[in-house]
Amino acid sequence: MKKVVACKVLALLALAIASTSCSKSSSSRNSSRATGWQLNSREGGFQYNTNFREQETAPGLVFIEGGTFTKGRVQDDVMHDWNNSPSQQHVQSFYMDETEVTNMMYMEYLDWLKRVYPPSEGNFRAIYNGALPDTLVWRNRLGFNEVMTNNYLRHPGYGEYPVVGVSWIQAVEFANWRSDRVNEKNLEDAGYLKRHAKTTDVAADQTFSTDTYINSPSGTYGGNEEIHDGRARSRNARVDEEGNETGVYATRETGILSPKYRLPTETEWEYAALGLSEIRDYNLYRGRKKYPWDGQYTRSGKRKIRGDQLANFKQGKGDYGGIAGWSDDGADITNAVKSYEPNDFGLYDMAGNVAEWVADVYRPIIDDEFNDFNYYRGNVYTKNAINDDGTVKIVTPGNIVYDTLSNGRVIARDLPGEILQVPVDENETYLRTNFDRSNHINYRDGDKRSSRYFESFNDDDLGSDPEAETRQMYNSPKHKITRDSLGNIIREFDKASHRTSLVNDEVRVYKGGSWKDREYWLDPAQRRYFPQDMATDYIGFRCAMSRVGSKSKTKAKTKN
C-alpha cells in the first residue's frame, strides 16, 4: 500500500515539475528579451508568431539544401563557344518544383484568367491572349506536326506533359499568379478570409494580390471588407481596452504568407540539377558529375532497368525515341513528367524532356570576381507607387497599362488589384555602397563603361563617330514595333549590316537539354540564350521559391 501511495506522489511531483517547466518555457517564449514586456497580449502591444518553427513546403516544391559547388564545369566543350568558365559559388537553400510546369497546371492559370478577365470584354482581351502559349511553335516548314499544334496544350492526353510555347515573360507572370493563389488559400485556411471567396467572390475589380494584402490589406478584393469577415472575426480578431480591433489581417509576422514563386536563377538551377550530394564524401565531392545522375553514361546500369535511357533526348539523326516496340527513351517529342528517375534531390527531368527558362539575363562571362554568393544577373529594383495621400497605388480595371513586345504581342504590365511598381530613385540609392540605380542588368558588363573603348575621363556617349555603335560591347539588331493612327501594328526589321552580336538585355538563359537536343546539352553546366519574349517547342520552365530561416531542415549532428 505504501508503495502505491509513494508512486502516486512521485507521479504528481513529476507532473507538477513538467507543468512548471512548460509554463516557464511558455512564459519566456511570450515575453520580450528586449524589454521584458509580454508578447501577444490580449490588451494589445507587439503581436508576433512565437510558435513558428519552419517554413512549410509550398505545393509542388521540394527542398534543396544550399551549399558550395563549382558552377560552369562543362565536361565536353565541343562547340568551343567559351561562354562558360568554372567558378566557385555558394547557393542559399531554396525550394524548386519537383517537375516541370505541365499543360494541366498552365491550363488552370488560363482558366482563372478567362473567368476573372473575360476576353470577350475589349478591356481584358489582351490579358488572356497575352498569357496563351504559342501553339504554332510546333509547325515546321518540312514537317507535319499539326496534331501537336491543335492538341498539345489542351488535350488530356498531354495533360501531364511539360508546357511549351511559353516565353520567359509568360513564365514569370505564371509564377506571380501562382504565388497569389497559394497565399490566398493559406489565408483562407488560417481563417483570415471568407471561405471559398477565392472562387465565389473573385471578379476583375475584386481580386487578391499578396503584395497588396501586405501593404494595404483592406484594399484587396477591391476593398470588399465582407471577405475579411466571417471566420476571421471569431478566430483571429481581438479588441483591446480602447475598442480597437486587431488581428483581422495577417502580417508577415504571422508566418502564414509564403514567399513568392519565381524562376530559379541559373546558379540555383545548375546546383539543383547536379545533385552533388550523390557523390559527396563527408566535406568534399568525389570526382565530377556529367549528368544529373551518377556515372558517365545516359543508360541505366541497374539490373532491373539496365540499358534504359535515363532522359528524353535525341539519340541521333532521325532518332528521337528509338525503334518501335523497343524504345530507347519512351518518347519522340516530350514525355509525361516523372517518366524517368529523379536526381538525388528528388527532381525529375533536370536533363531532357524540355530545356528550362531561368531568371538570368545572358552574358558570356560569369563575374565571380565581384560576387560568389547567390549569383544572379538581372536585378531591376522597383518600389510601390504612392498616391498623394500616402496610400499605395493599386491598379484598377480602368487603368491597366499594356506593353507591346518586340514581336508585336500585347501583354498587361500589371493586373487589377496589384500595386503599381516604379523604379527606385535617389531616396533609396543616395550614398549607398551596395547599389546605386534601379537597373543593374549591365553592371560590369554590357554598358559603355565596360567597353574597351570607354575613356574614364570622358563619361559622355561614345562620340559622333558613325562606327561608334559597332564599338559597343553588345551591338544587337534593333527591330521596331510602331502603330499607325488607327492602332495597327507596323513591324520594322533592322537591316543594318554592322550588327556584331545577338546579345542584349532582353535575352535570357535557358538550361538543360530537351527532347530535340543531342546528349551534349544534357550537361547541367551547359548554357544557351533566347529572346525573353519569344517561345519554342523545346523550352519550358519550373518554379522556385526562396527558403527563409535555417539552412537545413534537419538539426546538425555532431561531427567527429
- 244 vs 274 pLDDT, higher one: 274
Residue 379 vs residue 246, higher pLDDT: 379
pLDDT for residue 323: 83
Average pLDDT for residues 510-522, to the nearest whole number? 94
- What single-letter DSSP state applies at residue 49? -
Q: What is the mean pLDDT of residues 408-435?
A: 93
- pLDDT at residue 364 greater than cutoff 60: yes
- Is 417 a residue whose pLDDT tops 50? yes
- 242 or 211, higher pLDDT: 211
- How far apart CA 551 and CA 92 sit, in angstroms, is 7
Mean pLDDT computed over 276-300: 70
pLDDT digits (tens, 9 = 90+) for 203-214: 999 999 999 999
User: Which one is predicted more confidently, 245 or 483?
Assistant: 483
Strand bridging mode 382-384 / 421-423:
antiparallel
Percent of the chain with pLDDT over 90: 54
560 pLDDT band (50/70/90 cuts)?
very low
What pLDDT, in 10s, does the model give residues 79-125?
Answer: 777 788 889 999 999 999 999 999 999 999 999 999 999 999 988 99
Confidence band for 293, pLDDT divided at 50, 70 and 90:
confident
Cβ-contact 299, 309 below 8 angstroms? yes
Average pLDDT over residues 5-14: 62
Tell me what pLDDT residue 187 has: 93
Other C-beta atoms closer than 10 Å to the C-beta of 292 total 28
pLDDT at position 232 over 60 = no
Please tell me the predicted confidence (pLDDT) of residue 234. 47
Q: In the structure, what pLDDT confidence band is assigned to residue 16 with cuts at 50, 70 and 90?
A: low
pLDDT at 471 over 80: no
Give the other-Cβ count within 10 Å of 226's Cβ: 10
Q: How many CA atoms lie within 13 A of 177 on its CB side?
A: 22
pLDDT at 191: 87
* Residue 384 predicted with pLDDT over 90: yes
How confident is the model at residue 101, as a pLDDT?
98
Mean pLDDT confidence for 264-292: 78
Say if residues 71 and 525 touch (Cβ distance below 8 Å). Answer: yes
Residue among 523, 230, 509 at smallest CA distance from 377: 509
Residue 510 has pLDDT above 80, yes or no: yes
Query: Which DSSP helix (H) or strand (E) runs through 356?
Result: strand 355-361
The pLDDT-based confidence of 28 (bands split at 50, 70, 90) is: low
Q: Which of 62-71, 271-280, 316-325, 407-416 has the lowest mean pLDDT?
A: 271-280
pLDDT of the residue at 467:
60
User: In what helix (H) or strand (E) does residue 179 lie, and over which residues does it extend?
Assistant: helix 168-189
Residue 19 pLDDT level (bands cut at 50, 70, 90): low
Distance CA 522, CA 311 (A): 9
Q: What is the pLDDT of residues 473-503, one digit of tens each?
A: 788 898 888 888 777 888 889 888 888 888 9
Give SS3 for 246: strand
Q: What is the arithmetic mean of pLDDT over 336-361?
A: 95
pLDDT tier at 308, thresholds 50, 70, 90: confident
pLDDT given for residue 46 in this prediction: 85
Confidence band for 27, pLDDT divided at 50, 70 and 90:
low
Query: pLDDT digit string (tens) for 433-467?
Result: 999 999 999 998 887 777 777 766 655 555 555 56
The amino acid that residue 255 corresponds to is G
Instruction: Using the predicted structure, report yes or no on whether residue 347 has a pLDDT greater than 90.
Output: yes
pLDDT digits (tens, 9 = 90+) for 188-229: 998 899 889 999 999 999 999 999 999 999 899 998 888 886
pLDDT of residue 277: 67
Mean of the per-residue pLDDT values of the chain: 86
pLDDT tens-digit readout, 149-168:
999 999 999 999 999 999 99
What pTM, to 2 d.p., does this model score? 0.90
Residue 232 grid coordinates: 476571421
Return d(Cα 386, Cα 399) in angstroms, integer. Answer: 15
How far is 273 from 59, CA to CA, in rounded Å? 20
The per-residue pLDDT for 11 is 63
- CA–CA separation, 405 vs 409, rounded Å? 5
pLDDT of residue 10: 64
Least confident of 61-70, 199-208, 315-324: 315-324
Q: Say what the pLDDT of residue 460 is.
A: 54
Predicted local distance difference test score (pLDDT) of residue 230:
45
Residue 420's pLDDT band (boundaries 50, 70, 90)?
very high
Q: Tell me, what's the pLDDT at 393?
A: 95
Q: Which residue has the higher pLDDT, 75 or 2?
A: 75
